[in-house]
Amino acid sequence: MANIIENGVERPATCTEELFAMRDSLDVLGGKWKLMILRYLTNRTDQQIHFKKLQRGIAGISAKMLTKELRELEINLLIARTIQDTKPITVIYAVTEYGKSVFPVTETLVNWGLIHRDKIKNSL
């Protein structure tokens, strides 16, 4: 069970509060691409990642969808968009410190997905 801190006092979250928190999380992170974009950017912190590199690195995402998802991730403070003064102009994307807090979620999903894939393969 999760805990909530109110006025400096910690208490267990009610089931309703947990469900609201889950909905909020899914509103921000849900869909097919957002977690994949965050994972891709998190795993490549040593490089400057521009739009085309992101699009090439995430198989199947269209330019229109990538633009939409990047915009929503930026609005939710999970990624930063930096415009470089080059010719032509280059836009670099990076995970923010706050965005890095999502890493344990993606790590858990990756590990579960690997186990699940193996379980399904072995059950056939």
Q: What is the pLDDT of residue 124?
A: 83
Q: What is the pLDDT of residue 1?
A: 77
Question: Quick one: residue 91, left, alpha or beta (phi over 0 = left, psi -120 to 50 = alpha)?
Answer: beta
Give me the pLDDT at residue 46, please.
67
- The reply to whether omega before 88 is within 30° of 0 (cis) is yes
At 71-94, the pLDDT tens digits run 999 999 999 999 988 888 889 999
Instruction: Report the pLDDT averaged over residues 37-65.
Output: 91
pLDDT for the residue 45 = 65
Contact 91, 105 (CB under 8 A): no
Position 9 scores a pLDDT of 94
Residue 99 has pLDDT above 80, yes or no: yes
